[in-house]
Amino acid sequence: MNLKLALATLRTFLIGALALGIIFFLPAWTLNYWQAWVFIVVFMVCVNGLGLYLTLKDPALLERRKQFGPAAEQSAAQKIIMSLALVGILGLLVFCALDHRFGWSPLPAWVSIVGDGLVALGL
Closest CA to 105 of 113, 114, 93, 96: 96
pLDDT tens sequence across 76-122: 888 899 899 999 999 999 999 999 999 999 999 999 999 999 999 99
pLDDT tens sequence across 35-50: 999 999 999 999 988 8
Task: Give the domain ranges of the chain.
Answer: 3-122
Q: Among the listed ranges 2-11, 12-21, 32-41, 107-116, which one has the minimum average pLDDT value? A: 2-11
pTM: 0.88
Please tell me the predicted confidence (pLDDT) of residue 31: 97
- Model confidence at 1, in pLDDT bands (50, 70, 90)? low
List, in order, residues 6 or more apart from 46 with CB less than 8 Å away. 119, 120, 123
pLDDT tens sequence across 62-80: 877 777 778 778 888 888 9
